[in-house]
Chain A
Amino acid sequence: MPSSFSGGVFSDSLNGGRAGADIQLLPSGIAATCPDGEAFVIPYHGCDVEMGGYNGKMVFCRNADRSLTFFCDDRKFASALSLAALGTLDEQLNVQRKRQRGESRRSFVYSIAFLVSMLVLIVAGYFGIRAGANAAVLTLPTSVDVQIGETAMESMDLGGPQINDEVVVDALQSIVDRLAPAAAVEGMQFRVHVVDSPMVNAFALPGGNMVVYTGLIESAESPEQVAGVLAHEMSHATLRHGLQRIGQSLGIWAGLTLLIGDASGLMGAGADLFQAASINSYSRDHENEADLEGVRMLHAVAIDPAAMAKFFEILEEKHGDLPGIFSWISTHPDHASRIANIRASVGRLPPQDYRTLEIDWAEVKSHAHDHKQKPAQDL
């Protein structure tokens, strides 16, 4: 067992009150020698022993009037001190060891409890915020959706110029107008914006603005297939999925802010989230909801909803390998199961006398392909 250890001294007689020291366990007591040669001794019989320090295991030896303190964090020091003091300090050492073990156990239990609590809090908070945000958002008037959608529409990069070819725009608007009476929300104004871009894509903004890319029009074999896409996108607007996403994002941000204690940046951060959340892809649940609602709308206005599933299949077949930003279907994951769900939903519908859309689709596609770019107009 070593009798010399590296440690330190607290003493008012030292310049600065402390110094590192070489601690030696002598037969008469504990001796400490500082780098400048100054030496101190605490006899064993007048020594108070405590444990603590940064790791809880540092041993402190104090003289009777506590004017002199030695400390050492060598793991073997306590045992060596016990041997050198011939057991006279064992009672104190055992009390301190027991206290230190108790604190370690408490600390371990508290740490585990803290981690588990944080985990539970995060999980419960996430789902609680989702549910709460959804409920709160749905109580807002639809005018809020309209304002957000208009703001996002004005400020976002659509990825190409808007076109005003009447053949194309009027054809799509006529489909939307036929679908509108079946919308779940009354009074929402649906407006179609056509953007010249090879992207096979379409999206809806809160409030009823919808953007359809010419690439998608050219991919569709019939107006009913585009009606399926438009019904799906209108459903996102009527089911207020965009606002729900914003609400959830803000709600999660608010929860995090509550935890970290700064609530003042909340509204500012929300301004950015409005736009980002509006154009981000929807969750899988929202996509499934929009599919089913779209099928309901198509059926209600006597447009064959099977065309929606058919268009999914065409896109998967023709454009399945396109990156997500170029393909509408690629931004909607697990489309095989979605196609199956749509077909199952269609199968459950009561009989309906479906009417074809009176649109010369070949001409629309031709215009979408060959149109001349003109300044954008309000639709």
Chain B
Amino acid sequence: MQTEIRDRPSFANIRVLLAPGDEIIAEADAMASMSSSIEMKTQWSGGFVKGVLKRLFGGESMFVNTFSTATGGELVLTQPFPGDIQCIELKGNTMFLQPGAFIACEPGVKLGLGWAGFRMLIAREGLFRLKVSGTGRIWFGAYGGIFQREIDSEYIVDSGHLVAYEPTVSIRIALAGGIFSSFFSGEGLVTRVNGPGRIYMQSRSFDGLAAWTNSHLY
């Protein structure tokens, strides 16, 4: 299976060339176009209960679509908002994705839902996080550009910018500065992450977009 992420970073999409026998699993509604030779099978994302939980708490669809072909074909996958898409390869390791980030994965990848805790809710990252593990490539999207950091000591990320991270990374929520500067700098609470591990961040945040839009509504 050959894949290519095109139109980066603003309107990234994944072009997938499926050879006979290849399969790719994608978030429901991620397909933008496909060859008529490709078959799509819809199934619960990890079963009924897990599917409902992912919908309610993981920001993902209850269903995933599995695309396969007997003769080969092309498939284009995308995400609903403008921004970059990142591909990473799992080799038996695990990654946590923020709600709504998952786009597609190869069949060897297992999708699960993990409790993120109230501190992540306070950090506006959601009560739950998507847990991807196993072997194979996964694609996840972000609003804006994606940049990564390999961290081995404390690193600070503004709330709403963390997209994916390894489970070896510890996360604390803290004030951006003192009481005054935290409230009036516009930064408020920030996420203090500590390694070892890799984190992926998005250059824009949905909260920032919502606040900006709100300020221009009237």
Interface residues of A (CB under 8 A from B): 8, 10, 14, 16-21, 34-36, 52-54, 56, 58, 60, 69, 71, 73, 107, 111, 114, 258, 260-262, 264-265, 267-269, 271
Contacts and interface: CB of A to CB of B under 8 A. Distances in A.
Contacts of B183: 258, 261
Contacts of B96: 54
Nearest to B214: A265
A122 to B, nearest CB: 15
6 contacts: A16-B91, A54-B170, A111-B118, A114-B122, A261-B211, A264-B211
Contacts of A60: 168, 196
Contact of A261 (B90, B135, B186): B186
Given A10-B196, A262-B211, A264-B215, A58 B168 contact: yes
B215 A19 contact: no
Contacts of A267: 218
Contacts of B194: 52
B150 A54 contact: no
Contacts of B218: 265, 267-269, 271
Contact of B170 (A19, A35, A52, A261): A52
B43 interface: no
A54 B167 contact: yes
B91 A20 contact: yes
A20 B94 contact: yes
A35 B91 CA distance: 7
Contacts of A262: 211, 214-215
Contacts of B135: 20, 35
B3 to A, nearest CB: 17
Contacts of B122: 114
Nearest to A62: B196
Given A20-B91, A35-B91, A54-B96, A69 B196 contact: yes
Interface string B165-190: 11111110000000000010010100
B91 A17 contact: no
Ranked nearest first, the 10 interchain pairs of A and B with the lowest CB-CB distance are: A268-B218, A20-B92, A264-B215, A262-B211, A19-B91, A20-B93, A265-B214, A35-B92, A265-B215, A54-B167
Contacts of B94: 8, 20
Nearest to A56: B170
Determine the main DSSP class of A at the interface with B.
Answer: mixed
Nearest to B215: A264
Given A53-B167, A54-B167, A265-B218, A8 B92 contact: yes
Interface in B120-177: 122, 133, 135, 150, 165-171
A108 to B, nearest CB: 11
A365 B109 CA distance: 78
B168 A19 contact: no
Interface centre among B90, B183, B196, B217 (most CB of A within 10 A): B196
A73 B94 CA distance: 12
A52 B168 contact: yes
A10 B197 CA distance: 8
B168 A20 contact: no
B92 A268 contact: no
Interface centre among A34, A261, A267 (most CB of B within 10 A): A261
B8 interface: no
Given A73-B167, A268-B217, 20 more contacts: A8-B92, A10-B196, A18-B166, A20-B91, A20-B92, A20-B93, A20-B94, A20-B133, A20-B135, A34-B92, A52-B194, A54-B168, A56-B170, A58-B167, A114-B122, A258-B183, A261-B188, A265-B211, A265-B215, A265-B218
B119 interface: yes
A34 B168 contact: no
B178 to A, nearest CB: 16
B215 A16 contact: no
Nearest to B118: A111
B93 to A, nearest CB: 4
A52 B94 CA distance: 16
Contacts of B170: 52-54, 56
A219 B166 CA distance: 72
B206 to A, nearest CB: 13
Contact of B91 (A36, A53, A261, A268): A36
A19 B92 contact: yes
A17 B150 contact: yes
B150 A53 contact: no
B29 interface: no
Contacts of A265: 211, 214-215, 217-218
B169 A54 contact: yes
B89 interface: yes
Contacts of A8: 92-94, 168
Contacts of A34: 91-92
A21 B215 CA distance: 49
Nearest to A73: B167
A107 to B, nearest CB: 8
A173 B135 CA distance: 82
